[in-house]
Amino acid sequence: MKKLFLLSFLICSVLSCSEEGDDSSDFYYETLPVENVYMPAEFQFGSTHEIIVTYLRPSGCHVFNDFYYLSELNQRTIAIITSVFPDENCETFEYEEVEATLNFRVNDIDPYVFRFWQGEDESGNDIYYVIEVPVVD
């Protein structure tokens, strides 16, 4: 998870160094936990499959940006990255569930293990929802 925050910080640092001096697009990145995942029970080798991920959007200032996606052999770690526009007058939400779709290309016949980041526990340890998906020919 430390890599995730470092990546978000680096992206924000690079994008904030604009030579035009345009401060009208002040924003930062925030990683949000995955709430639910909808994906096939098995993958077809060589196919692309949709993985639908839901997350809770805390405010109208949070806009989906991308997926944090870490690939290590057949293990994938996934989280939601939002752009946050703090200078906007945004509504705060108690519970707004938003869907984002990840298109996943199956390039290996071995099963894939997905780790969806669901936040941290009281001790600051990352919590993951883990799904193993077999691949069929």
Write down the pLDDT at residue 24. 53
Specify if 60 maps to a domain. Answer: yes
Please determine, for residue 72, whether its predicted confidence score (pLDDT) is greater than 90.
yes
| 58 vs 5, more confident | 58
- Contact between 79 and 20 (Cβ < 8 Å): no
Residue 18 has pLDDT above 50, yes or no: no
pLDDT in tens, 89-137: 888 888 789 999 999 999 999 999 999 999 999 999 999 999 999 999 8
Is residue 48 included in any domain, yes or no? yes
Domain count, the chain: 1
13: number of Cβ within 10 Å: 9
Residue 2, pLDDT > 70, answer: no
24: in domain: no
Is the pTM for the entire model greater than 0.85?
no
Residues 55, 95: Cα–Cα separation, whole Å: 10
User: Mean pLDDT score of the chain, rounded to an integer?
Assistant: 86
> Is the per-residue pLDDT at 46 higher than 50?
yes
Half-sphere exposure of 117 (CA within 13 A, CB side): 23
Domain of 131: which CATH number? Answer: 2.60.40
Following DSSP, what letter does each residue of the chain receive, concatenated? -HHHHHHHHHHHHHHT--SS---TT--EEEEE-EEEEE--SSEETT-EEEEEEEEE--BTTEEEEEEEEEEETTEEEEEEEEEE-TTS---B-SS-EEEEEEEEE---SSPEEEEEEEEE-TTS-EEEEEEEE-EE-
Q: Is pLDDT at 83 greater than 50 in this prediction?
A: yes
User: Tell me, what's the pLDDT at 40?
Assistant: 95
127 within a domain of the structure (yes/no)? yes
Which residue type occupies 41? A
Domain-located, residue 126: yes
Per residue in 24-41, pLDDT (tens digit) is 568 899 999 999 999 999
Spatial separation of the C-alpha atoms in residues 61 and 86, rounded to whole Å: 6
Tokens of 135: 């691949």
Look up the domain containing 87 and give its range.
Answer: 2-14+31-136
